Each structure stands twice: as C-alpha cells, then as structure tokens.
Amino acid sequence: MGCAGIYMRAKEVNSMKVAVYYSNNDVRIEERPAPQISDGEMLVKMKASGICGTDVMEWYRIKKAPRILGHEMAGEIVEVGKGVEEFNLLDRVFVSHHVPCYSCRYCLAGKHTACEALHSGNYDPGGFSEYIRIPDQNVRHGALRLPDGVSYEDATMIEPLGCVVAGQKLINPKEGETVLIIGSGISGLLHIQLSKLNGAKVIATDIDSYRLQMAEEFGADHVINAAGYSADELKRVNNNRLADIVILCAGAGGAAEAAISSVNRKGAILFFSVPQNDIALPSAEFWRNEITLRFSYGAAPEDLHEALSLILNKSVDVGKMITHRIPLQDIQQGFRYASEANESLKVVVVPDNSF
C-alpha cells in the first residue's frame, strides 16, 4: 500500500508543480516532491485556489518569502490516512488552512480566532500547488465536504465569506442602521451583501469606478467615489447623519482617516482591513461620543460552515465575483490582475489541465 498507515489511495503521486512567492512580481513555478501523509491526514488535489487580497499585500507577505501561498483552497481527496473515517477518496472538499485546538483557554471561552494553534497551523505546502497535505487537526476541524450545488471555484469563497461572517458578528448591523463600507473589493462586496441581508442601509466607497459599479450591483443603496469623499458627502446621502457602523475594507491611510471622521455618536468602526502604519485616534472625542472600535481577523470553523450555507442557499452571490480563472502555470498573471485590481475582483487559480 505504500506509506505506513495509508489505507486508501487514488493514485501514486511523486512530484508536483508549486508556485513560489518571492514578491508580487516574482512568483515562480517550481517542481517539488509531493507531500507524504501520515495517520489521520489526507492528500488533496487542488481544483481551485483563490488569490486573497492579503496574498498581494506585499509589505505583509514579503517578510516570509520565499513561500508557497494560497489559503482559499478546494479540491479532491486522492489519499486518506489511517484513522480518517469521515472522508473518502474522491470526496470534494474545502479545507481551512487555520483551525483552533478546541482545548486552550481561548477556545474554551469561544474565542477561537485567538487560539495559538489557529495562528500557527497551516496545511502543507499551500493552496498554490498541485497537491496539499492536510494535517490531522485540519482534517478534523477544517475540512468541509462540498454539496453538489457548490462548485470548486465557488468554494474558494468560503474562507473570505467566513471572515466577513465573523466580522459582522462583532458589529451586528440591523434594520434602521446605516453602514458605511470603505473599499469595495471582495471583502467590501461581501460586507455589502451581509449588511443588506440584516436590513441595514448601505453606503459604499471606492476610488475605482468599476468597483463602485459592482457595489451598486451587489446592493449598495448609495456609492461615493473615495477621491471626493468627505463626511459632509456622507451626510448628504444619509439624511444629514453620519454612519452608525463603519467597516474599513481598504488598507490606505486615508481610508482609516475617512472611517474615523464618519462614525456617528455611539457608533462602531470595524477594522476589517488595517493600514500598514499605525493610526492616530481622537481619543477624547471617541470617549465623549462612546465610539466602539473592533478589529476582525480570520474565521472560526462555525463561521466557515455558515459561509458554506450562505453560498449553497444563494443568499450571497459569490460566483459573480469570480472574474478571472488562471491556470497554475500562469499564476504570475493572476497576481498581476489581483494586485492591479482594475476590472478584476476574485482571481482563482485552477489546475493547468482545466482549460
């Protein structure tokens, strides 16, 4: 049967192609040995892997280069290790790269995204490769079997949508409230849809006319070009009021400043994205107006399950956000599309033989 402990194998896998990130403009296709799995683990053949906005956030990623990125991965199980009972060969799965331990003090308190295991764990090597080893912890807590109604490409949106689900729980927008969403990329568009599902009025900004158009198509009640944005412009379209909730989905320093100036008394700002440099806060004003600041990072497994349900039930339209499909061998072009934005939203990497 080959490796000790392996009890099911679809095919022999010896080597594979991987995409190694050195910088946004230097992503190289290299040959590597295929991962070998152990008891409790699985080997998944990548069928689709999304390029995340953080993948092209060079100041954040280049510190750990070279490395194989990709954390929005869906694929087909081709090997199953001994002890894995809930999955079978050829099952279609989405796999979360970060999972909590469920035993530390944070997990026991329901604060799963604070778990050290969630921050330090990962699958091997990354989603931008032909095959990925899924560690036992990820098999148990991070693998979701895909229903027939969810494609591999749509499944790449489970992780970004799960993160938005987690962020929305922190601020809980509701009917009668106004939500200002700064930045109308993938995370902004997902926040628009969830905020509208909760009954809120949504105003969205961006500097890009294509993304403003997409914000309208995905349900924003008003859009404002960020190049000419001001709190007065917000008031003009919002009955002379500031926003009850501001969600920051852009990393520019000016975006953070716009968020600070746009929140109403007793309101909240959700930092879903953060600028590279620290920001100054008007602490006395925020104290007097009782402004709440929240920061959101990642998603817990239950958020991912909720995201899958939203996609399956068509409550959130993710397929329309996928604007580009790129074969693994052309991933450099995919990084160019994702980093330059222009008329692209989600770029999904697929196997070379998918075309």
Nearest 5°: CA angle at 70, between 76 and 161? 85
Handedness of CA 23, 25, 31, 37 (dihedral sign): positive
> Do 149 and 80 reside in the same domain of the chain?
yes
CATH (domain of 274): 3.40.50.720
What residue numbers bound the domain in which 44 lies? 6-157+318-354
Verify cis geometry, omega within 30 degrees of 0, for the bond prior to 173. no
Do residues 152 and 170 both lie within one domain? no
Task: Tell me how far the alpha carbon of residue 121 is from its chain's centroid.
Answer: 17
Buried b (16+ CB within 10 A) or exposed e, 157-177: bbbbbbbbbbbbeebebeeeb
180, 325 Cβ separation under 8 angstroms = no
In the block, residue with structure tokens 């001001």: 230
Q: Are both 153 and 167 inside the same structural domain?
A: no
Q: What is the CATH number of the domain that holds 329?
A: 3.90.180.10
Task: Give residue 140's region: left, alpha or beta (phi > 0; psi -120 to 50).
Answer: alpha
> Residue 35: what are its φ and ψ, rounded to 5°?
-65, 145
State the total domains in the chain.
2
Instruction: Return per-residue pLDDT of the chain as tens, 355 residues.
Output: 334 445 667 667 789 999 999 999 999 999 999 999 999 999 999 999 999 988 888 888 888 899 999 999 999 999 999 999 999 999 999 999 999 999 999 999 999 999 999 988 889 999 999 999 999 999 999 999 999 999 999 999 999 999 999 999 999 999 999 999 999 999 999 999 999 999 999 999 999 999 999 999 999 999 999 998 999 999 999 999 999 999 999 988 799 999 999 999 999 999 999 888 888 999 999 999 999 999 999 999 999 999 999 999 999 999 999 999 999 999 999 999 998 877 889 999 999 987 6
CA-CA distance, 85 to 80, in Å (whole number)? 9
Task: Kindly state the DSSP code that residue 67 receives in the 8-state scheme.
Answer: B
Helices (H), ranges, 199-320: 209-217, 231-237, 253-262, 283-289, 301-312
DSSP state of 132: E
Q: For residues 188 and 212, is the Cβ–Cβ distance under 8 A?
A: no
Residue with tokens 């229903």: 147
